[in-house]
Amino acid sequence: MGKNKNRQFFDFSKNGTNKAQANCDWYKKQFPSIQFRYKDKYIDEQNAIWIQDSDIVMMGVDNHKTRKLASDWCSQLPNVTIISGGNNLTNGDVMLYMRRNSHDITPPLTNDCHPEIKYPQDRHPNEIGCDELVESVPQLLPMNLIVSSWMVCALDTILAIGDDISVNNVPFHIQYVDIRSGASRPVKRD
């Protein structure tokens, strides 16, 4: 059912339901006029093709291998937006990778500032055996909420700018947040 079951809001009344399907079913009930589809597999080298030209990818994965995989796949697409959120216990970040007309307007997630993504040392979920016990690391709800909120803020800004988005007006390359100091800092890497 997923190691983070106690942090999920959707309906678990159907025990054993795939998390993506359960989430999809919940959203369909809440927003019947919007089309939702789910994929019951982790994204990997074979199915990354699901991400297509002009897609916007809201990515909240918990491993750098998947981040690299998505970034590498998207680097081949003429137009794409990845909004990738991640956090530690009390700090986190939202990274943007955007391409327009086959040009990077923000750096890929695998840029030289982030060797942890460029050369990931962790494991893809498909590399973890079904019977392997995976310990769920503690997380704080406000940290999850603020990162997801910044992801939605980024999406809203990108949609508001629309087709005029460029290297000069992209809101940030990475937004850092810290819930202990109360600080947030947008960064554009030269």
Task: Compute the least distance from the CB of residue 78 to other proteins, in Å.
Answer: 25
* Start-to-end Cα distance in the chain: 42
Paired strand residues for 96:
83
**Interactions with other proteins, residue window 18-57 (CB under 8 A):** none
Cβ at position 33, least distance to other proteins in Å? 29
Comparison of 25 and 178: residue with beta carbon closer to other proteins:
178
CA distance 4 to 23: 14
Would you count residue 92 as binding other proteins (CB under 8 A)?
A: yes
Tell me if 91 contacts other proteins by CB under 8 A.
Answer: yes
Binding residue count for other proteins, defined by CB under 8 A: 36
In the complex with other proteins, which residue's Cβ is closer, 103 or 185? 185
* Near other proteins by CB under 8 A: residue from 43, 82, 93, 124: 93
151 burial class (0-12, 13-18, 19+ CB within 10 angstroms)? buried
Shortest gap between Cβ of 65 and other proteins (angstroms)?
11
Distance CA(85)–CA(41), nearest Å, equals 20
Q: What is the DSSP letter of 137?
A: P
Beta strands in the chain (DSSP E): 56-59, 80-87, 91-100, 103-104, 174-178, 183-187
63 binds other proteins (CB under 8 A): yes
The reply on whether position 62 binds other proteins by CB under 8 A is yes
- CA distances, 155 to each of 54, 59, 132, 145 (Å): 14, 12, 36, 15
The verdict on 176 binding other proteins (CB under 8 A) reads yes
Residues that bind other proteins (CB under 8 A): 59-64, 67, 84-88, 91-93, 95, 109, 112-117, 122, 137, 139, 147, 176-178, 181, 183-185, 189-190
